Chains A and B, each alone.
Chain A
Amino acid sequence: MSKNSKPLRLRAQRFKGYLPLYLMMLPAFVYLLINNYWPMSGLVLAFKKYTVQGGIWGSQWVGLRNFQFLFRNNETAVMVRNTLCYNLAFMVINVIVGVFLAILITEIGNKTLRKLAQSSVLLPFVVSIIIVSYMVRAFLDADTGLLNSLIVAWGGKKTSWYDTPGPWPFILTLVNTWKGAGYGCILYISTIMGIDPSLYEVAHLSGASKLQSIRYVTLPYLKPTIITMVLLNMGRIFNSDFGLFFQVPQNSGMIMDVTQTIDTFVYRGLIVQPNIGMTAAASFLQSCIGFALVLAFNAITRKVSRDDALF
């Protein structure tokens, strides 16, 4: 009893000491609660048949009925496979291309030139996906597209690209990399710029080649940023970029086996029967799996190298 009371009193004292700080934190905390945590209670809609009269809490409880549509046909396996595989591929490729570009850009000596490269690599990221989809169409259109014109000019036969599933995994990956790599790249650049230049000097003096200093100085410093980026993407691994998978393939049916993801499936299934419960169910599932994967990936990171884990 007396053993416990001392640290308890100490803790109470410490609490009193920090009280002003806690009080200052309170508004932000309440804000976080109202803005970020309270809306999460809306997840309960995934288990309800929403009506305006009942509202979020009063609507009828239907259990797992809202989830059924996700598992109704053999399409489920296809869309889960597509969502996961594309996201994994995007994650890996975006990291590799992003890091590669970041290293190249930071090696540019001229400051103006470097800023120019930095901005231009980010530019595709801010282009609307609708515009991107028409840019892709300009290449792939069956009658007027650049690609078919070239093929015909060289004596080949026109291909209706939007009805041919084969090349689409590559097209989508290419589009995603073109559009997304710049964003990650900016983060990596800022990390690289933050590395103490004396480290490179030491490496240089010790006779390290350019490649070696990248391998032994730059990459280890980039590791935490890469892990953070991967973790952030992990949480969204069950979500997909709707624009990329719906607009870029122009909602073409014949290539759906390689373009259908969970988001497009939900959209196609519910466009004519807007059902708040069913959409909530789909995003509930996506969030849960994303959350679980973040935890798992973080646990693995902690096992491998404790310092790099996020929490």
Chain B
Amino acid sequence: MKKVLCIILSILMVAGMLAGCGQKADTKPAAQGNAAANSGEEPYEVHMLIALPATAPDSAAVERVMNAVNAITLPKLNMTLKLEVMPFSMYLEQVPLQLSSGASLDIFTAISQMGPSWVNAGYLLDLTDLMAEYGKDIPGTYSSPELATVCNLNGYLYGLPVHKETCQQPTMFLRTDILEKHNLDVSNIRTLADVDALFEKVSQLEPDMWMVAADNTAQGKTVEADFIGGSTITAGLLLNRDNTEVVEIVGSEEFREWCDYHYKWYTKGWINSGAASDTESYYSYIKSGQAFSFFSDYGHPLSLADQQANCSGTPLTMVQLDTPYCTTNSSAVFCYSIGAGSKDPAKAMTMLNEIMTSTELMNLLNWGVEGEDYVVNADGLLDFPEGKDASTVGYHLNAGWILPNQFKCTPWCTSPADIYDQFMDYNATAVNSPALGFRFDPDPVSDIVSAVSNVRSKYYKALIVGAVDPAEYIPKYLEELDAAGNQELIAEIQRQLDEWLASKG
């Protein structure tokens, strides 16, 4: 009896489990069938994801913006927007994973440096034909139409860059209070030698101060180069050479000069001695009054205000050390792409076209809902509603530079009314890299790329903050690069670049 009971019980258990499996398998196709059948009549829901370098607004606020967007797009396009705003740290963890599993992301912020890898893995759709058919207005929104196609890999258009300053410019920011205190004139500073002379003077007047807060995450900022291989490959074009020969930038005089001066400053104690491995932002040293200046590669019309805000309002003086220059990387740090899992790419592109050309939609995405998140002031600019600020209005991204087309937004009242025209004008002053629009495909040499990236992570930080002697370490660095196959890599970059130049005619 016991035995029989036992058998019955166990069979029941197994059967129950199998039934569970069966059910799941059955429901899935049915659900898909429903969706497919209804898509003809029901409005298409566009899933849009925006990455944000700050905390995302709460879901109620996003919901409010979404409803306002839908009130416009539903009658006009028979589409709704499902908006997701994600902090950048979360984005880096989740979006690559979503893409690798083919999730349906219709429109999303993409990191354009990742583009080649993502294209090779089939994560992103080619937008060339989609834009020609459903995004006709998009190329006209850029200051020059060729910017629209900057994010392409051998003609595979994988993203549309955000609208912002397209160029970098070697600049320096110095603390105004120190300059005024000692009555120093910095308007004529152009070269690192000028900077060095200034530091000599200031270091005597302010002996306990660090002359420069070093940034170990960047490239040598006075080296005007186009790192066309990608952010961890130091091979590229030197822009003042006026040719298209790919060279190892680490071996160049400009890089050596940067390192030599920093090494000098470092050994004199003018740079924080932990700079090579510091994870603290260099702004914090300006904020705390410990450091006097820092280098930057932003010289655009808003950068002084931006940098002062970064340093909690410390008054700064900006010195432009060199001319602005425009490269593929600088003109498209972020772009908007359509994921390979998109259920209806044509509709996604139609929606993107609408967003990029509509002041109403862009204001909604950047500033929120009128009356609740912002009001229009007497000058026609936007301001917070009475008694509210950025933290209390609910939705205030204020991140136009990572949104599809901030040039369509109405400017905020703290910016000049013609700020976006100023950006356009500034972009026009830039010197274009001959490789503007070219992107290197690392796939044929991905093993060398990873080896070279590893060598870079060993030496680069220490060299650019001056923690080690360039006379000893640059040759060492170059030697190890070559051992890792750097010459082969440079040859491959050159080959792809030459091919691209030839195809451009």
Contacts and interface: CB of A to CB of B under 8 A. Distances in A.
Interface of A: 19-20, 23-24, 26-27, 30, 49-54, 65, 68-69, 72-75, 141-143, 158, 160, 162-163, 249-254, 256, 260, 265, 268-276, 278
Contact of A142 (B273, B341, B455, B468): B273
Interface of B: 3, 6-7, 9-11, 13-14, 17, 96, 99-102, 113-114, 116-118, 120-123, 230-232, 272-274, 276-279, 340-341, 442, 446-451, 453-455, 457-462, 467-468, 480, 483-485
Given A74-B483, A250-B277, A253-B457, A51 B121 contact: yes
Contacts of B14: 23, 26-27
A310 to B, nearest CB: 30
A54 B273 CA distance: 50
B461 A253 contact: yes
B10 A20 contact: yes
Contacts of B122: 51-54
Contact of B442 (A73, A74, A273): A273
B276 A278 contact: no
Contacts of B99: 52
A72 B273 contact: no
A253 B459 contact: yes
A254 B447 contact: no
A268 B276 contact: no
B451 A23 contact: no
Closest 8 CB pairs of A and B: A269-B450, A69-B447, A51-B122, A252-B277, A23-B10, A142-B274, A72-B451, A162-B277
A269 B454 contact: yes
A274 B114 contact: yes
A160 B276 contact: yes
Contacts of B11: 23
Contacts of B458: 253-254, 256
For A20, A73, A249, the residue with the greatest tally of chain B CB atoms inside 10 Å of its CB is A73
B455 A160 contact: no
A306 B163 CA distance: 71
A147 B431 CA distance: 49
Given A72-B451, A254-B467, A30 B273 contact: no
A30 B17 contact: yes
Given A73-B484, A272-B117, A275-B117, 10 more contacts: A27-B17, A51-B122, A52-B341, A54-B122, A73-B451, A163-B462, A250-B278, A253-B460, A256-B457, A278-B450
B446 A163 contact: no
Main secondary structure of the interface of B (DSSP, over half): helix
Contact of B485 (A73, A141, A250): A73
A75 B451 contact: yes
For B276, B278, B467, the residue with the greatest tally of chain A CB atoms inside 10 Å of its CB is B276
A143 B274 contact: yes
A19 B14 CA distance: 13
Contacts of A27: 13-14, 17
A233 to B, nearest CB: 26
B457 A268 contact: yes
Contacts of A162: 274, 276-277
Contact of A268 (B10, B454, B462): B454
A24 B12 CA distance: 10
B17 A73 contact: no
A268 B272 CA distance: 25
Contacts of B6: 20
A50 B7 CA distance: 46
Nearest to B484: A73
10 contacts: A26-B14, A27-B13, A50-B100, A52-B121, A141-B274, A163-B277, A268-B453, A270-B450, A274-B117, A275-B117
Given A73-B451, A252-B461, A256-B457, A160 B446 contact: no
Nearest to B11: A23
Contact of A52 (B100, B447, B459, B480): B100
Nearest to A269: B450
Nearest to A55: B102
Contacts of B455: 73, 75
B151 to A, nearest CB: 16
Given A51-B121, A74-B483, A253 B272 contact: no
A249 B277 contact: yes
A142 B274 CA distance: 5
A72 B341 CA distance: 35
Contacts of A49: 120
A56 to B, nearest CB: 11
Nearest to B273: A142
A174 to B, nearest CB: 18
A278 to B, nearest CB: 7
B121 A50 contact: yes
For B277, B446, B449, the residue with the greatest tally of chain A CB atoms inside 10 Å of its CB is B277
Contacts of B3: 20
B451 A254 contact: no
Contact of B450 (A54, A65, A72): A72
Contacts of A69: 446-448, 450-451
Contact of A160 (B273, B279, B453, B457): B273
A271 B457 CA distance: 11
Contacts of B230: 272-273
Contacts of B446: 69, 273, 275, 278
A148 to B, nearest CB: 9
B448 to A, nearest CB: 6
A268 B452 CA distance: 10
A252 B465 CA distance: 12
Nearest to B485: A72
Contacts of A249: 277
B467 A23 contact: no
Given A52-B102, A276-B100, A24 B450 contact: no
Contacts of A253: 276, 457-462
A272 B113 contact: yes
Contacts of B462: 163, 252-254
Nearest to B341: A52
B467 A163 contact: yes
Contacts of B272: 142-143
Given A26-B14, A250-B277, A73 B102 contact: no
Contact of A252 (B102, B276, B341): B276
Nearest to B123: A52
Nearest to A160: B273
Given A269-B454, A272-B113, A73 B483 contact: yes
Contacts of A30: 17
A141 B485 CA distance: 35
A280 to B, nearest CB: 12
Contacts of B274: 141-143, 160, 162
Nearest to A50: B121
Nearest to A162: B277
Nearest to B460: A253
A24 B16 CA distance: 12
A141 B278 CA distance: 9
Nearest to A133: B279
Nearest to B340: A52
For B9, B10, B451, B483, the residue with the greatest tally of chain A CB atoms inside 10 Å of its CB is B451
Contacts of A270: 450
A23 B3 CA distance: 13
B468 A163 contact: yes
Nearest to B8: A20
